[in-house]
Amino acid sequence: MKYKNVFLSVGTNLGNKIENIITSIIKISQIDNTRIIKISSLYETFPVGNALQPNFYNIGIYLQTKLNPYKFLEEINKIENDLHRERIEFWGSRTIDIDIILYENMNINTEKLTIPHKEYKKRNFVLEPLYEIFPFIRRMKKNLKYGITRKIKPNINIGISACIVGINTKYNGGNNYKNIFKEMYKIVNLIPLCPEQLSGLSTPRNSVEIDNNRVIDVYKNDYTNKFMIGAYESYKILKLLKCEIVILKSNSPSCGYKGVYNGSFNNTLILGNGISVDYYLKKNIKIIKY
């Protein structure tokens, strides 16, 4: 199946709204046979209907997927469930809401799915991100009854593994660049860091894994103290720049969260955290796993 063009609307007004938005973006990017092409700026929307609730944060996402609309909806619903979607009432507060607005030029009207989304032309918080991503679309008149929306960029700093924004910090001298993080700069300030480089280790360097709480290479050389230094030095940056959240590359002996390689050097993952992650958690830094 060829890639199909899809436009999503994502909104939240409960809990840590920035964390909800960023986690949603990452989880959407990890859906099989799906790739995010463009993300809109962040929009703040005043509530409609029940005004006695927090303002919403909204974004639009343009992506391509090989999944059919119903399978893609299943994946979106899984993400909403993973993020403990709570929707108390119609037009009410919710932790996360992900709507499929457009899927190619398809028209679907079933009990389970309606495409195009039946309300999207009335919703400024959908239309403004849509116009931003697709500026050639003819603009419709704003409907002030359905939410006043404004583009914002909160002055929020979030730490991020340097390798996934394209900086060559991996042990082999490479990186794990992902386009979504370039797009994410529209929403927040991303602060790249690499605990291993901050520990004084060179790039490239020996591959290491965690074995019984010790960081070792294949020759059994012990790097644990170096990794502790890296955790401390990187935390100093997070503290200085008031980063309460950090996005980390999964499975790393520094940055792995709920999964690290077990020291056998045969690609075996076990439940556990990297050295820096354990340190950050003790300092009440929230971890978003990539």
Instruction: Identify whether residues 147 and 48 lie together within a single domain.
Output: yes
Per-position pLDDT tens, the chain of length 290:
799 999 999 999 999 999 999 999 999 999 999 999 999 999 999 887 666 788 999 999 999 999 999 999 999 999 999 887 555 555 556 789 999 999 999 999 998 999 998 888 888 899 999 999 998 877 666 555 556 889 999 999 999 999 999 999 999 999 999 999 999 999 999 999 999 999 999 999 999 999 999 999 999 999 999 999 999 999 999 999 999 999 999 999 999 999 999 999 999 999 999 999 999 999 999 999 99
Domain that holds residue 117: 4-152
Same domain, 128 and 85: yes
pLDDT in tens, 181-240: 999 999 999 999 999 999 999 999 999 999 999 999 999 999 999 999 999 999 999 999
Q: Are residues 127 and 164 in the same domain?
A: no
CA-to-CA distance for 171 and 152, rounded, in angstroms?
37
77 plus 188 within the same structural domain = no
Please give the positions annotated as active site.
85, 94, 97, 99
The percent helix, strand, coil of the chain (3-state, each to 5) is: 30, 25, 45
Out of 152, 168, 186, pick the residue that ends a domain: 152
Cα–Cα separations (whole angstroms), residue 18 to 43, 57, 107, 160: 11, 8, 32, 14
Q: Do 145 and 188 lie in a common domain? A: no
Say whether both 270 and 189 belong to one domain: yes
Instruction: Pull the structure tokens for residue 201.
Output: 């280790």
Task: Please give the helix or strand (H or E) that residue 195 lies within, else none.
Answer: helix 195-198
**CA 197 distance to own-chain centroid:** 24
